[in-house]
Structure 1
Amino acid sequence: MSAAVRYDEVEAGQEIPAVDYNVRRLNLVMYAGASGDFNQIHWNERFAKMVGLPDVIAHGMFTMAQAGRFVTDWAGDPGAVVDFGVRFSSMVVVPDDDQGATVTVSGVVEEKLEDKKVVIGLTARSGDARVLSKARAVVQLT
């Protein structure tokens, strides 16, 4: 865990550098076990293509979790996030190769609130697609 970000060290408009999260099919199988979501579109290429998808796709909640990880890593405290929400806007297609897929998450401090809270606007992309929209987190800083 990184050092906690302090409220007086951030300003509205401040960018939070992007972080790449690699996604391989093994990650999806592990997530399925943890979440209980064993829908075949997340691990079975033949089934995913049969239902019209380009390939296996990551769970939406797995993708959201990477954005949450980005925020908690930045804040330096997993308990700092007091509100978090996204909309799913595109799929993360995960090919069966050594590279898998990459989800790139970046952020910007949109607003400083009272009580040492900040609003973080998030952007998450995979390839050319924006995979999360309206992604926001309210973070309690020290």
Structure 2
Amino acid sequence: MADLFDVLAEDTRREILTLLRTSLDAQAISGSGQPGELSVGDVVERLGITQPTVSKHLKVLREHQLVDVREDGQHRYYRLAPGPLGLVRRWLDGVAPQVTPVGLVDSAETPYVDLWPAGYQVGTWIAGAQDALNRFIGQIRP
């Protein structure tokens, strides 16, 4: 699971996951994509970062099974993959207090309602811890 937290610690990857989650919630359709899918170009346009950067981060997310890809000719469409996020959710459920947002039900239609804010906070914390550790190591190395 440590690798998964390393993946989630990167800001751009969390932004991509959040964007895909938002697209899923809105059942967005991108170009010739399906509801809940975004193309690389859609992610580039919405986040304002370069195509090579987006592709690099999507590759990492795909390798860690956080996103699924559907190829249609020369186009690739990405959507969230629930698998490893369930591991993160179970871990968070064990360390975070149980909170049920009013009016929201954890069901098949909304399986990760409370995961994203907590996951984002955990990823931010891990990234900060890694930065602090790197600064500390840099101070003690000659």
TM-score band (shorter)?
under 0.3
- Using structure 2 for the length normalisation, give the TM-score: 0.25
TM-score by length of 1: 0.25
Higher relative contact order (CA 8 A, sep 6+): 1
The structure with the greater share of residues assigned to helix is: 2
Pick the structure with more strand per residue: 1
